[in-house]
Each structure stands twice: as C-alpha cells, then as structure tokens.
Chain A
Amino acid sequence: MKAICFYFQIHQPFRLKTYRFFNIGNDHYYYDDFANDEIITRIAHRSYLPANQTLLEMINASNKQFKVAFSISGTALEQLEQYVPEFIESMKELVATGCVEFLSETYAHSLASLKETEEFIEQVKQHDEKIFQLFGQRPTVFRNTELIYSDDISAVVASMGFKAAITDGAKHILGWKSPNYVYSSAAAPQLKLLLKNSKMSDDISFRFSNPDWNDYPLTADKYIDWIANLPQEEQIVNLFMNYETLGELQPRESGIFEFMKALPRFAAERGIEFWTPSETVAKLKSVGELSVPYPMSWADEARDTSAWLGNDLQNEAFNKLYSVAERVNLCTDRRLKQDWMYLQASDHFYYMSTKHLNDGAVHSHYSPYESPFQAFMNYMNVLSDFIVRVEEQYPLSIENEELNSLLTTIRNQSKEIEQLNREISLLRTNIINSEDEDKAAESQKAAAKTTAAKKPAARKTPAKKTAAKE
C-alpha cells in the first residue's frame, strides 16, 4: 500500500507602497492596495480558482478518493476575502466534500518562530481561529512559514498540541534516509514529521513544462509509475508545493490541470491512495527520530534560512522589528496590531536578499523592488514610522520592566475602580430598595397621615452624596 499526500500552500503578503522618509510620522498607511489587488486577483483567476475547480472535479470523479491539504496564511485569506471573495466560496465548496484538510501556520507567514516564541504561539492561534471561522476546521498538523523547522521549534509546536509537523526532506538532515517515511522530532518524540519529497514535488512545480528536462513531457501515468516503482517499504510520497504551481508557475497551456486530473485514475490502477497529512500520521508509525539543531527551510540549494536572514540588511530589519515586540503586545490599538502583523511577513525580508547568483534569480523574480537595497530602504522607512507610533503609545525612555509595573498599577487601579463602581451600584439598589420599602410603608401611613408625604424626598439627597463619596 502506497499513498500520496498532497499539500498546497497559499500565501500573499501585504506589499508595501513606496514609502519615502518624509512620510515618516505623517502617513500611517503602508500598503500598496493597487498592487495587492492586482496580484491576488490575477493569480486567483489564473491559478487558485481554476485549480479549485480542478480539485473539485478530481474529488467527485474519484468518488472522494482524492484528498488534499491546504495551508493558507492569514494575510492571504484577508486579501482573498477582500478582493476575490468568490475564492472563499469556492474553497467552502471544496471543504464540503470532506476531502480537504487545513494545516496550521502563522497568521502573518512570519519568521517569529526564529525569534519570539510567544509571538509565534499567538500567531498560530490567531491563524487557526481564522480557519475555524471560515471553514469550520481546527488544524491538527502544523506547517511553519517556508517549512522552517528546528528542534527548538518542534518542541514549541508539540507543546501547542499538534500531532505532526511538515518540513523539508533536506539532504543535510536526512543523509541516506528517504523522505518517504514518517519520522518524529528528536526534541519532542510525540510530534511526527512529514517530509517533503523535493525531487517529486519539483518535478511538478519547476520542471513540468521545461522542454530541456530529460523526462519532458511528464505524463500522469509516467509519474504514477515512478511512485509505484519506489521500494515496497516506502509508503508515503509527500508532494508539497505552492498552489500557484497550478496555473501560474506552470501555465494552463502546459497542460498542468489535465495532468492533475489524470492522476487519481492512474493512481487507482496501481493501487495508490491519497491521504491527508492527519490521515498519514494516524496510519503510519514513525521509523525514527530526526534531529535538526539549526533551523532549516525549503528554500534554495542550501535549505537554510539565508534567503530571509542571510545578510546584514535582513538581520538589521528583523532585529529592529522584533525590538518592539514586547511593546506592541502591550498595546491594544487595533490598527497598530494589524500593521504589526503585516510587517512581519517573511516576504519583506526575502526582497532584501542579496544572493544574486544561482538562487538570486528566483528571488528577484518575485520582488516588487528593483534591488534589495530599495526593499530595505522602503521597509526601514515604514518600520521607522511604525516604531514612532509604538513610542507614542509607550515612550522608549521607560524601561520595559518599569512600563510593565506601571501598566500593572493602571490595570489594578482600573480593577479597583470597577469593584468600587459595583459597590456603588449595589448600594444604590439598596437605597432604592429601602426607599421602596419606605414608600410602601408611607403609603400605608398616608392613609392615616397625609401631611408627612414630603419627608422621604428630603432624605434621598444626603443618601446619594454618601454613595458618591465611597
């Protein structure tokens, strides 16, 4: 028995507009609405929507044997809700088949897991809440931004109660081992690991329409044959890729949709099933532990985090951003929190990458900036303004600890005030009650003595004053 586990990633950042230094302190809106709208609409129409349609057909045609998993970042969901609401509807339709699973990730597609554990946990919760609101599912398998993973991260993920995490089957971690098994984390053995089969995934996402490739053209039966011919013990093939692969990276004309549609039929012929990640971890046992002391990812040849934090520009921006993390968490301003989220997207750091050779070509392809330096300048201008706003709320001259104690005092005081208010209202009702009693008593008396009618009113005023003093 063999199975294929498909997982697609959807992410779009909120791209920043050209933000000059003279805007710092004056303009607090940072986003290029036009570009964001244009890009997500274009990609949705070229890729997401037709791909959804294809998957739906595949599920129906295969009698729900075809299954698939998605991870959609919070920022992408927000943009889709705003600009392409029909996608959300189409997704709901797909979810209704019961063959779709959502994965957990950080809301902002951020790199918080490398720096701020608390922020990381907070974002994961926020993301899962969003998924639940929209699609009624609570994710049980975690996938980090760009499949970034390390032992430390796995411990945090396990502590949040996830059953499994997804990461890359990088050669420097696996060595001679095959990614086609389930592994578990060395730091948290209860957390299972699903590893991306890079070769098979990239065959679809990068090489599918490349005529220079030996195996061009790739057909569904050939592809399924490769999987069927894997050693008997290798039971699971994890195909992880960007959703844009279908229709954008591999355009419609390349026949990618037809290729996908043909997969379930050939798979059924060869007795290959489709499982979702949670099914996979439920059905298969871990064959061993993997230790990853340093963070790895699915990007570039080196499979490390250098695409985001590889040069001093990126590190400077990253550290500057998280230098205000504690402050922002103290804030309650909704817009500030929102900007905080958007500014953490890993993409901003990706644009600053200066890896020009080999890998660099891919980087520049996705960047809205002409050069990494422009990306840095623009981001730093925006960040400067953001920090000014944070400072306005809580001046930097006060130490974090001092600020904390001040805030506690304020909170305590507000609690006290609340309590006192409650007492007041309690007393008031008491007074009113007693007045009512008085009235009742008086009305009885009134029958006997009508001249004393004005007395209770005179007594009411001093009673109020004492209540206010308390």
Chain B
Amino acid sequence: MFGWEFPPHILGGLGTASYGLTKGMWENGDMDITFVIPKPWGDEDRQFAHIIGANSTPVVWRDVNWDYVQNRIGNVMDPQMYYDLRDHIYADFNYMRTNDLGCIEFSGRYPDNLLEEINNYSIVAGVIARTVPCDVIHSHDWLTYPAGIHAKQVTGKPLVIHVHATDFDRSRGNVNPTVYGIERDGMNNADHIITVSELTRRTVIEKYGQDPAKVTTVHNAVEPLSEEIRNIKMQHGKDKVITFLGRITMQKGPEYFVEAASMVLHKTHNVRFVMAGSGDMMEKMIRLAADRDIADRFHFTGFLRGRQVYEMLAASDVYVMPSVSEPFGISPLEAMQMGCPSIISKQSGCAEILENVIKVDYWDIHAMADAMFALVNYPALHNHLRDKGLAEIDTIQWKKAGAKVINIYNQVINNRK
C-alpha cells in the first residue's frame, strides 16, 4: 500500500481513513500488509502493517555499517530492511540530492514542491516494489498514484487505487490540470478503482471517463473511540452550542453556516455558534459574521487538534457539516460517536450511509437553520438522534469495509490468472 499520511501525524482525513482501512483488513485475517509513507515518525502503530518510510529507503548505494543505520533510522525501520532495499537499487540516482544513507528527504506534508515529492516518492516506490513481494498494489489518493503505477510496471501485479477525493471536490470545479492529469493517469492504469462514496464514484465515471464496471464504492467507517475520549464530559452552559468543525475553505461551505446561524439568532437567543478550524476563508467569515451583526454569539476557535476536537464535540449540542462537495466526510461520524447530533449536506458522501442525521442541501440555508432550531428547541429530536446515532455508529466498522476491499483484491487477482 502506498499512502501519504498515517496516524498519529496526520493533516486531514486521508491518514485516518488509510489507517482504519489497513487495520480493518488486518482484522479479517490472512493479510500481510506493507504500508509506505513518505516520512514515518517512529510512533506509528506497527501491529498490523510493516511500515516503510520513503525517506529511509536508499536509492543510491552508500557503504554504511549496521550500527550506523541502526543509529540513524532504527526507530522507524529494521536495519536489515535497509540492506534489503539497498540491494534492489535499480538505476543511478546520483544526480539526485540524497543524504548520508543514500535516501531522499521527504517532508511528509503538502509543501509547495509537492509535485517534486510525488515524483521522488515514485522513484522510491521502484526500489520497494523490487524488494517486497506482493500480490496487489494499493495506492491511496492521487499523491501516490504515480508510485502505484511504477510499482505495477516493475512487478506486473494488479493495481488498485483508492480515491479519497478528487480535484473536483477540492476546487469546486476549477480543477488544476496537472493534478487532474495525474489522477486520470492513475485511474487509467488501475485494474480497479475504489471510491469512498457513490458521489465520488459518479465523479470518477463522469469526469474521468472511467468504465463503471471498474469502479466500486467502499464507504469509510470509524474506529471505536478510546475509553478516555468517550469519557470526556464538558460543562454545558445555559446556551446551546452549534458547531462547525473543519478547514474553513470553499469546499466546506462555511458561509452557509454563518448565514443559517444569523437566521437562527434573529429568532432565538439561547444559542451560540462556534466555527472551529482554520483556512483561507476564515477572515472572510469573521467579517461576514460581523456584517450579519451576530459576532457577539459567533465564535472562532482557530485550529483544533487531537483531544481538543473531541472536547469541542462533547461541548456541542449540534454539529454541522455544510460541505459543498465532500467525498466522504468522517467528522459527522466522530460527532455521532461523541453523542452530538449532526446536520450534514446531502452533497457529502457520508450522507449515503448515515440514517440518524439530518440531511439538507448545502445551499438551502432555510432548511439548515430550521434543523438547527429544531435540534436546540425540541429535546425529543436531539435525544433521539443522539441515542440512535450512537447505536448506528457501532455498526459502521472498518472490518466490514476491509472485507469488501479484500474481495476486490481477490477479484483483480483472479482476473489476472
């Protein structure tokens, strides 16, 4: 498997989903998974997958002794692995900038020279593919498609690509031609395409011209929360709290949240709104809230991480995700786990599988405001969604998603025979 993020060091939903899926597949048994990420930190969960760091895979021969390797990258990789990989360097990459171990450095983030990193990642993938035997290659999101294609060419094994998002979701239609090119190339070369929702599946078929028979939806799931997180209890004040949580960008539809909030606040006063997260539209939203004259009851928290996210959800009475286009959207599932009822846009992939949430069109701010009002004013609805939501979320398991993916693997392997 090729991925870009892996918990605990994650930047978005991709890492969480990659982790959940890998673990879910492992739970189904009889799987030997190697997961490649650009830059491991050493504190990843290695119980169910071998993790190989692209930044600790040599592409240039360096004569280094065992102790030195152990000392340098022992925390992320077994030195023997390093030597195995070193035996499979397939070309002369001396022209590249490499370090003392002959490895290329990766940031593991989304830097400005992202395209260069993607390319480097693909070079590294060639070494790994020659070293680690496998039956199927699985690439998560466009960043790793070139690596997947490369590995497929080297090994001749089937390639499955996993579409967590497309550039159409990220850009509201104004796609970046380079990104589109990489995505389309990945899809064309894939033996099978897995999408995280029907919504994404349609995009892949319609916008990328893929054969529908080749595209299957496997919905994401959630990991059960740890005891510690589940026990987070926050003080609920007199006012009800309605929360938006996510990147404040065009894709997430924050302005619809502000507009709906202003409608609710002009009718009732026992409500507060929170916009948690950061993003390029944050300033605009602050100005919009002031403009609507609701700034006294509309709060911005800035970026939240880790435990803070769950504390915010525990303190909220309603969670709102008005995304304009959301391939899946894992956060309403997390809100449900914390017992916080959600309002989600019909344009998000998770709306396809969730029952105990309120679904509205992202642009229908009247309906959104109405749902907010109902959830804070009619306790029966709030309690119903909370209790049934908790029960529902227990049935959405990665293990089931993993089984579906394994099924697809078997299918592509059989097609090869």
Residues of A bordering B, CB below 8 Å: 20-22, 24, 311-313, 315-317, 354, 356, 370-371, 373-374, 376-377, 380-381, 384
Query: A370-B359, A380-B378 given as contacts; is B373 within 8 A of A21 (CB)?
Result: yes
Query: Bound state CA distance, A370 and B369, in angstroms?
Result: 17
Question: Which residues in A have their C-beta under 8 angstroms from that of B378?
Answer: 316, 376-377, 380
Could you tell me if A316 and B380 are in contact, using CB atoms closer than 8 angstroms? yes
In the complex, what's the smallest C-beta–C-beta distance from B10 to chain A, in angstroms? 32
Question: Which residues in B have their C-beta under 8 angstroms from that of A384?
Answer: 377
In the complex, what's the smallest C-beta–C-beta distance from A418 to chain B, in angstroms? 45
Query: A20-B369, A356-B355, A371-B359 given as contacts; is B380 within 8 A of A313 (CB)?
Result: yes
Could you tell me if A376 and B359 are in contact, using CB atoms closer than 8 angstroms? no
Most buried by A among B367, B369, B378: B378
Query: Bound state CA distance, A381 and B264, in angstroms?
Result: 13
Query: Bound state CA distance, A317 and B384, in angstroms?
Result: 13
The interface bits of chain B over 369-413 (1 if a CB of A lies within 8 angstroms of the residue's CB, else 0) are: 111011001111101110010000000000000000000000000
Question: Which residue on B lies nearest to A22, using beta carbons?
Answer: B267
Question: Which residues in B have their C-beta under 8 angstroms from that of A380?
Answer: 374, 377-378, 381
In the complex, what's the smallest C-beta–C-beta distance from B170 to chain A, in angstroms? 28
Q: A313-B384, A354-B388 are in contact. List 4 more A-B contacts (CB 8 A).
A: A312-B380, A376-B374, A377-B371, A381-B370
Query: Bound state CA distance, A371 and B388, in angstroms?
Result: 14
Tell whether B88 is near chain A: CB-to-CB under 8 Å.
no
Query: A356-B355, A374-B358 given as contacts; is B370 within 8 A of A313 (CB)?
Result: no
Could you tell me if A21 and B369 are in contact, using CB atoms closer than 8 angstroms? yes
Query: Bound state CA distance, A373 and B359, in angstroms?
Result: 9
Closest CB pairs A-B (n = 4)? A316-B380, A377-B374, A21-B373, A20-B370
Most buried by B among A316, A354, A373, A384: A373
Question: Which residue on A lies nearest to B387, using beta carbons?
Answer: A312
Could you tell me if A22 and B381 are in contact, using CB atoms closer than 8 angstroms? no
Most buried by B among A21, A317, A356, A371: A21
In the complex, what's the smallest C-beta–C-beta distance from B300 to chain A, in angstroms? 25
Query: A21-B373, A354-B388, A356-B355 given as contacts; is B267 within 8 A of A373 (CB)?
Result: no
Tell whether B263 is near chain A: CB-to-CB under 8 Å.
yes
Tell whether B366 is near chain A: CB-to-CB under 8 Å.
yes
Question: Which residues in A have their C-beta under 8 angstroms from that of B267?
Answer: 21-22, 24
In the complex, what's the smallest C-beta–C-beta distance from B98 to chain A, in angstroms? 57
Query: Bound state CA distance, A229 and B200, in angstroms?
Result: 59
Question: Which residues in B have their C-beta under 8 angstroms from that of A356?
Answer: 355
Choose among A21, A312, A315, A316 the residue that contacts B370 (Cβ–Cβ < 8 A): A21
In the complex, what's the smallest C-beta–C-beta distance from B345 to chain A, in angstroms? 13
Question: Which residues in A have their C-beta under 8 angstroms from that of B381?
Answer: 313, 316, 373, 376-377, 380
In the complex, what's the smallest C-beta–C-beta distance from A2 to chain B, in angstroms? 48
Question: Which residues in B have their C-beta under 8 angstroms from that of A381?
Answer: 370, 373-374
Query: Bound state CA distance, A199 and B263, in angstroms?
Result: 52
In the complex, what's the smallest C-beta–C-beta distance from B390 to chain A, in angstroms? 14
Choose among B355, B359, B374, B383 the residue that contacts A312 (Cβ–Cβ < 8 A): B383
Query: A22-B263, A380-B378 given as contacts; is B373 within 8 A of A373 (CB)?
Result: no
Question: Which residue on A lies nearest to B375, using beta carbons?
Answer: A377
Query: A356-B355, A371-B359, A373-B358 given as contacts; is B374 within 8 A of A21 (CB)?
Result: yes
Question: Which residues in A have their C-beta under 8 angstroms from that of B355?
Answer: 356
Query: A21-B267, A22-B267, A356-B355 given as contacts; is B385 within 8 A of A377 (CB)?
Result: no
In the complex, what's the smallest C-beta–C-beta distance from B392 to chain A, in angstroms? 10
Question: Which residues in A have their C-beta under 8 angstroms from that of B359?
Answer: 370-371
16 residue pairs of the A-B complex, CB under 8 angstroms, read A20-B367, A20-B369, A20-B370, A22-B266, A311-B384, A312-B384, A316-B381, A371-B359, A373-B358, A376-B374, A376-B378, A376-B380, A377-B381, A380-B377, A381-B373, A384-B377
Question: Which residues in A have their C-beta under 8 angstroms from that of B379?
Answer: 316
Q: Which of B328-378 contact A (CB under 8 A)?
A: 355, 358-359, 366-367, 369-371, 373-374, 377-378
Question: Which residues in A have their C-beta under 8 angstroms from that of B266?
Answer: 22
Question: Which residue on A lies nearest to B346, using beta carbons?
Answer: A370
Question: Which residues in B have their C-beta under 8 angstroms from that of A20?
Answer: 366-367, 369-370
Question: Which residue on B lies nearest to A374, using beta carbons?
Answer: B358
Question: Which residues in B have their C-beta under 8 angstroms from that of A311?
Answer: 384
Query: Bound state CA distance, A45 and B267, in angstroms?
Result: 44
Question: Which residues in A have their C-beta under 8 angstroms from that of B370?
Answer: 20-21, 377, 381
Query: Bound state CA distance, A24 and B358, in angstroms?
Result: 21
Question: Which residue on A lies nearest to B370, using beta carbons?
Answer: A20
Question: Which residues in B have their C-beta under 8 angstroms from that of A24?
Answer: 267
Question: Which residues in A have their C-beta under 8 angstroms from that of B380?
Answer: 312-313, 315-317, 376
Query: Bound state CA distance, A356 and B392, in angstroms?
Result: 13
Q: Which of B248-268 contact A (CB under 8 A)?
A: 263-264, 266-267
Query: Bound state CA distance, A371 and B359, in angstroms?
Result: 8
Question: Which residue on B lies nearest to A377, using beta carbons?
Answer: B374
Query: Bound state CA distance, A356 and B267, in angstroms?
Result: 34
Query: Bound state CA distance, A377 and B381, in angstroms?
Result: 8
Question: Which residues in A have their C-beta under 8 angstroms from that of B264?
Answer: 21
In the complex, what's the smallest C-beta–C-beta distance from B229 to chain A, in angstroms? 27
In the complex, what's the smallest C-beta–C-beta distance from A408 to chain B, in angstroms? 35
Most buried by A among B267, B370, B371, B383: B370
Question: Which residues in B have their C-beta under 8 angstroms from that of A22?
Answer: 263, 266-267, 369
Question: Which residue on A lies nearest to B385, using beta carbons?
Answer: A373
In the complex, what's the smallest C-beta–C-beta distance from B194 to chain A, in angstroms? 27
Most buried by B among A315, A371, A377: A377
Query: Bound state CA distance, A302 and B313, in angstroms?
Result: 38
Question: Which residues in A have their C-beta under 8 angstroms from that of B374?
Answer: 21, 376-377, 380-381
Query: Bound state CA distance, A380 and B259, in angstroms?
Result: 23
Query: Bound state CA distance, A370 and B351, in angstroms?
Result: 13
Question: Which residue on B lies nearest to A20, using beta carbons?
Answer: B370
Question: Which residues in B have their C-beta under 8 angstroms from that of A371?
Answer: 358-359
Question: Which residues in A have their C-beta under 8 angstroms from that of B388?
Answer: 354
In the complex, what's the smallest C-beta–C-beta distance from A10 to chain B, in angstroms? 32
The interface bits of chain B over 66-89 (1 if a CB of A lies within 8 angstroms of the residue's CB, else 0) are: 000000000000000000000000
Query: Bound state CA distance, A376 and B379, in angstroms?
Result: 12
Question: Which residue on A lies nearest to B371, using beta carbons?
Answer: A377
Q: Which of B78-137 contact A (CB under 8 A)?
A: none
Question: Which residue on A lies nearest to B374, using beta carbons?
Answer: A377
Most buried by B among A24, A313, A356: A313
Query: Bound state CA distance, A29 and B373, in angstroms?
Result: 20
Q: Which of B179-201 contact A (CB under 8 A)?
A: none
Question: Which residues in B have their C-beta under 8 angstroms from that of A316?
Answer: 378-381
Question: Which residue on A lies nearest to B379, using beta carbons?
Answer: A316
Question: Which residue on B lies nearest to A354, using beta carbons?
Answer: B388
Query: Bound state CA distance, A315 and B383, in angstroms?
Result: 13
Most buried by A among B264, B367, B371, B381: B381
In the complex, what's the smallest C-beta–C-beta distance from A363 to chain B, in angstroms? 14
Question: Which residue on A lies nearest to B355, using beta carbons?
Answer: A356
Question: Which residues in A have their C-beta under 8 angstroms from that of B383?
Answer: 312
In the complex, what's the smallest C-beta–C-beta distance from B373 to chain A, in angstroms? 4
Query: Bound state CA distance, A20 and B366, in angstroms?
Result: 7
Query: Bound state CA distance, A22 and B366, in angstroms?
Result: 9
Query: Bound state CA distance, A452 and B343, in angstroms?
Result: 93
In the complex, what's the smallest C-beta–C-beta distance from B292 to chain A, in angstroms? 15
Query: Bound state CA distance, A447 and B367, in angstroms?
Result: 90
